[in-house]
Amino acid sequence: MQKHIAELKSPMYASFSLTFALMGDAFLYSFLPVNAPSIDVPIIWIGTILSINRFTRILLNPLILRVFSRLGFRLPMIFAAIAAVFATAGYGSGFGITILLLLRILWGISYSVLRVGAITYAMDYPQKGLALGLSQSIVESGPLLALLIGPLLFDVISPKLLFLVIALLSTPGIYFAVKLKERDRAPGRRFNFKVSFPSIFNRLAFLGAFAVEGMLVVLIGAMLMDARPDWSAVEITAAAAGFLSFRRICSLFISPFAGWAADRYGLPNIYSGSILLICSGLLLATNGWVITGLVVVFTFYNVNASLAAGAASAGKADVTHAVSDNATFRDAGSAFGALTGGFLLANDHLHILYAAIVLLLIFFTWKYHRQSNAFPA
């Protein structure tokens, strides 16, 4: 028992470092669309500021692998935790769009390092499903804390001081990064930006992120307006925020159970089942049962997201490279999905588009499940 607890320390330290780094980003998503003028941000720049970190992650994941192979894991994660605190403190500075964009790029780099590091440390634990589930649960706690205390602080202090306070609350992430033990380095690999054709699993990950993390998150408000035309704008906004919070709460409590179930019943079985349940939720949400559908999607997408790294790295010799590749395709899916969702805000035929996406998801799930049964980990 003591041995297992000792082996869990590094995965937990890495996860805590990541969750504290996420606090500023989580609050920025709820703060900026409504309060951009208070930090001198023109409304036209909001989408770019909120999405540029995702495109940064897509481009720099290969470089991060190179950094890990050269410097190990502990030192980059310490610097990434420091950078996240610095970026958060600068969000409310009012120094202009250029500085804010640079801070978002810096935060995107920091997040990439901490995310790949946290997942890789979790994958070192013998019971990978349990470690990944606990890690995901911990990672969601920081953003939830920021979403709870941020609005309360905003009532009494200025935006500049608000983000400075959130940055100070994020500093324990540096402590947990310092507490990490170094893990064995992966063999150095030649650096390049060559993108190979994605595996079946990464195609599935891209499409899932495109449909849920990208399009659906952007379209929640529009879908609720169609379903509840009698609700006011304030009620729609509150409901959309409530579903986003529900998504994180589900991740906090369901991820450990998902990890346990994956260890007991097989990760490919639980992962594939979660995709099929997500598909059912998407069909419900886009065909008149919006609230029920959103509850189903966000409940089971958290199961899916918490197990993605384990499924992506199953049978792979280089776990870090597999995790990074999967993270890149998920980032790309969510980034391009968000852009697509923005163009479809006034579209009346979402059910047709989502029906096509669901068919593709089911097809890729079938191929992935057959493949995983043919080549068990």
pLDDT digits (tens, 9 = 90+) for 29-84: 767 766 777 777 777 777 677 778 878 877 777 788 788 888 888 999 999 999 99
Query: Rounded to whole angstroms, how far apart are CA atoms 333 and 341?
Result: 12
Q: How confident is the model at residue 127, as a pLDDT?
A: 74
Q: Cα dist. 127→5, 132, 274 in Å?
A: 12, 9, 20
Band of pLDDT at residue 153, cut at 50, 70 and 90: confident
Question: Model confidence over 177-215: pLDDT tens digits?
Answer: 999 988 765 554 554 545 556 778 888 888 988 888 878
Most confident of 68-72, 171-175, 267-271, 302-306: 171-175
Q: Is the dihedral angle over the CA atoms 135, 141, 143, 146 positive or is it negative?
A: negative
Question: Which of 360, 372, 203, 359 has the alpha carbon at shortest distance from 271?
Answer: 372
Give the separation between CA 327 and CA 350, rounded to whole angstroms. 27
Distance of CA 214 to CAs 54, 68, 281, 340, Å? Answer: 11, 29, 16, 8
Please, which residues have CB within 8 angstroms of residue 131's CB and are 6 or more apart in sequence? 8, 11, 122, 123, 124, 125, 259
pLDDT at 151 over 80: no
Which residue in 293, 283, 297 sits closest to 357, CA to CA? 283
Q: Is residue 348 a contact partner of residue 226, using CB atoms and an 8 Å limit?
A: no
Q: Where are the beta strands (DSSP E) in 13-146?
A: none
Residue 264: the pLDDT is 81
Cβ atoms 198, 51 nearer than 8 A: no
Burial class from Cβ neighbours inside 10 Å (0-12, 13-18, 19+) for residue 44 reads exposed
Can you give the pTM of this predicted structure?
0.71
Q: What is the dihedral of CA 297, 58, 60, 199, to 10 degrees?
A: 90
Contact predicate 311/271, CB 8 Å? yes
